[in-house]
Amino acid sequence: MEIDDVRAFVAVADAGSVSAAARELFRTQPAVTRRLQRLERALGARLVDRRRRPFALTPAGQAALTRCRALLASVQELRAVAGGAPGPAGELRVAVAHALTELMLEEPVARVQRRFPAVQFRLSTGWSRDLLERLRTQSVEAAFILLPRDEAPPASLRAEALAEERMVVVAPRSEPAGRMRVEALGGRSWVLNPDGCSARLGLERTLARAGLDCRVAIETYDYELQLSLVAQGRGLGLVPGRLLARSRFRRAVKPVRVTGLALEMTIWSMRSRPVPALEPVLDELTRVVGRHLGRGRAKRSVAVS
């Protein structure tokens, strides 16, 4: 069994296809296929169900994946120790919810990387629900996500609550002042994140309970673009209060208080499994993000069960 064969299998599992894994590894597709087949022969089991579309691991592949990830982590630690690295070293895969990308990429990761120069960060983004699945399958070591305030993280993950995130309904500055009821949102258009956003789902459920449809006029991931479009009168918006306070469009829009609509979120730092050599790095990253949020350290902690 060769370590590059193990690495190819993990890349295929993470990327979702041999072709995508080949691009990730800078190898040809046949070369990755050969490595996968060689690992299967060495283990005496099929790891990938080639008859299914889309791509799927066999039960043996699912069982092997966790152990292959642990093996690659051990190899990284061994190389770091043998190479005489003065501190933690290796690759750290961190996923970030879309709403937190600006927060993470602006300062915290760069600051932590300066402190731990031998650690290579692999950053990715996604919706919080998708990131929970990536934590479950251990395709990332850690993730920073948002969950509704009343929702606890999975018991299998080590999680730390960093701050509360208030989602704010915003309207053009020309909108009449005052509070409105949920029923007054009927027939209004919205500028929102695409499907998959937890806050949007909460809004849709609240409107549905009132017998109202959520009329989405424009979908975009970019909150600054959303606020610009709201300022132009293209619809109401729903954005994190943290981002609204820093937006260059904050004076062109205004928050709207909606009775019966409360969308409170919690920002969590979560880890999929202990990685002893990299735990100090994750501890520091969590601390820096917490300070960057301006809310101090966590209010709640949940240990791995």
Q: Model confidence over 58-93: pLDDT tens digits?
A: 999 988 988 888 788 777 767 666 665 566 777 888
Residue 216, strand partner residues: 190
For the stretch 111-138, pLDDT in tens is: 998 999 888 888 889 999 899 988 988 8
Pair 16, 10: CB distance under 8 Å: no
- Vertex 14: Cα angle to 13 and 18 (nearest 5): 55
Q: Residue 168's pLDDT is what? A: 94
Whether the pTM exceeds 0.85: the reply is no
Q: Residue 297's pLDDT is what? A: 38
The rounded Cα 240 to chain-centroid distance in angstroms is 16
Pair 301, 163: CB distance under 8 Å: no
Give the CA distances from residue 176 to residues 19, 202, 214, in Å, rounded to whole numbers and listed in that order: 54, 25, 21
Domain ranges of the chain: 1-84, 164-265
Rounded distance, CA 234 to CA 189, Å? 7
> Residue 97 — left, alpha, or beta (φ > 0 → left; ψ -120 to 50 → alpha)?
beta
Same fold, 1-84 and 164-265: no
Average pLDDT along the chain: 87
Rounded distance, CA 200 to CA 233, Å? 19
* Low pLDDT (below 70) residues in the chain: 77, 79-87, 295-305
As to burial, measured by CB atoms within 10 angstroms (0-12 exposed, 13-18 middle, 19+ buried), residue 72 is: middle
Pair 94, 141: CB distance under 8 Å: yes
DSSP H helices, the chain, are: 3-15, 18-25, 29-43, 59-82, 101-106, 108-115, 128-136, 198-209, 223-231, 241-246, 279-293
- DSSP 3-state of 203: helix
Q: What is the CATH number of domain 164-265?
A: 3.40.190.290
Which two three-digit tokens encode residue 116?
């731990």
Rounded distance, CA 206 to CA 269, Å? 27
CATH level 2 (architecture), domain 1-84: Orthogonal Bundle (1.10)
Residue 217 main-chain phi, psi, to 5 deg: -85, -40
C-alpha closest to that of 65 among 41, 39, 86, 47: 47
